[in-house]
Structure 1
């Protein structure tokens, strides 16, 4: 019988939180919940949604997999009951790729809920787009650093790099299963990777095939090289170099 244990998946926005949360939810037979928007559905594909609603046949002792973008210290200072979570998985991604992904998500995407077309920058003058890019980069570099430092102080977590999840998905999921003390059944692991790969989540696109306004935009590593100039790299390094180095990212 399900004893109601919960897993918290934490990470800065656009770091692969949703992808990882979906896979962990499926592996555990637990319900996936986005704590920032519990009723929202990133994808309307029914075949995807039914895999993360806790109704799959393979059950474990875990009941919920919840996603948050909040910093650890913010959760401590709020009414959020972190102690109600039995395990915490922290996913981190190269902040340079985060900045690119975040830029396109924020300024080339029209949220269904608000329907604000002014967020679309496609037809804005080049200088406007450049200014918005620099401002977003500065904000991402600063906030990613604070966010990462905050969660790295939390003991007992499982730290997963997005890049490792992409390069060795099976190995990363096996390490997560070991951390959660659940069986690493190869068939279920492979099913999770197959059912939630980029092509299925993006509606049929291959990794690298870009659709700028999509939630799952491109799904590749190192895309920042196509966008960063020398000044961009200096801005990011000013704020994030120490944390990037400690996490194994090349400067």
Structure 2
């Protein structure tokens, strides 16, 4: 585990950022640039290499805007693939396409859950030929915003951000954060899903997983063609419950523990003012109206 953590941190810090985004109150956020979008400062060449990643026939893509349940869903998928409620020792970072070294990704012997935060057009070119299945995560943008703020401040080696939430909020609304605008991201994904009806895509929401995890485990398993018994579903649901997963990660010194915080639905009410909440609602109305991501169930 120590060697794995060391290798990952070397990947995190070896690139120089393209942009230092100023929050207007003395704190800056390190960002990269890729195709005109703000991304993590992993180096443009790493993002461009994603297109050329060779795919296996049984690969799965797990995609989503950061902090929309990516780590949790990856762990659930990993258990589904193995058919048992057994936690990963490395987490999803070994198959994080825009950051993990190719040798690390290629060394995975089991069915790979290749994960990324890029857009549809930036995924590996072989995807359409192989009809690679895509699982797209989504979460209430207000909870995503709060979690994303803590994500930026908890990893100073990556983003070097130490600002206050009220100063981070305008950056998120304007899309001046890692992976740019949440709202533009999902608007683009909605358009690309419609334009590519032959590409198998399953949207999984954080709220649905919190509401009924066994149901969502069955949906995921059916989508990736893994038969599970009721006993297996229950075992996975017990092991993959957010609190159980976080507890196991922390006790086992799993590197992914730093990416898990509260795992709650509605925590945004403890952080956003009424005016800030209304600004998010306005962005949803402007950017996501008419898309599959505009349901009040997931945005209010």
TM-score by length of 1: 0.71
- The yes-or-no answer on 1:72 pairing with 2:120 is yes
Q: Distance in 1 between matches of 2:248 and 2:79?
A: 20
Structure 2 residue aligned with 1:18, among 71, 76, 95?
Answer: 71
Tell me, yes or no, if the aligned pair for 1:109 and 1:120 is still in contact at 8 Å: no
- For residues 181 and 272 of structure 2, the distance between their equivalents in structure 1, rounded to whole angstroms, comes to 18
> For residues 201 and 120 of structure 1, what CA distance do their matches in structure 2 show?
27
Is 1:160–2:209 an aligned residue pair?
Answer: no
Structure 2 gaps of 5+ residues are: 1-55, 102-107, 250-256
Relative distance call for 1:136 and 1:150 in structure 2 (3 A) is closer
Q: What secondary structure is seen at the aligned counterpart in 2 of 1:22?
A: helix
| Alignment partner of 1:220 is 2:256 | no
**CA–CA separation in structure 2 for the residues paired with 1:230 and 1:163:** 22
Helix, strand or coil: the match of 2:59? Answer: strand
Equivalent-residue separation in structure 1 for 2:202 and 2:259 (angstroms): 25
**Who is 1:191 aligned against?**
235
Q: CA deviation at 1:202?
A: 2.3
TM-fit CA distance, 1:201? 3.2
- Written as runs of structure 1 = structure 2, the 5 A alignment for 1:70-149 is 70-75=118-123, 80-83=125-128, 84=130, 86-111=132-157, 118-121=160-163, 129-139=165-175, 143-149=181-187
Evaluate the alpha carbon distance shift between residue 132 and residue 248 of structure 1 in structure 2; reply closer, same or farther with a 3 A threshold.
closer
Q: Is residue 202 of structure 1 aligned with residue 202 of structure 2? A: no
Equivalenced residue count is 211
- The CA deviation string for residues 84-123 of structure 1, in whole angstroms up to 9 with x for no partner, is 4531111110011000000011024334xx5x7x5334xx
The whole-number CA distance in structure 2 between the counterparts of 1:226 and 1:54 is 43
Q: Which runs of 5+ in 1 are unaligned?
A: 40-52, 56-62, 122-127, 206-212
Deviation at 1:196, TM superposition (A): 2.8
Shift, 1:14, TM fit: 0.2
SS state at 1:158 partner: strand
CA contact (8 A) 1:105 1:215 kept: yes
2: distance between equivalents of 1:19 and 1:54?
Answer: 21
Normalising to structure 2: TM-score of the pair? 0.61
Q: Provide the C-alpha distance between the structure 1 equivalents of 2:146 and 2:165, rounded to a whole number of angstroms.
A: 13
Structure 1 residue matching 2:247: 3-state secondary structure: coil
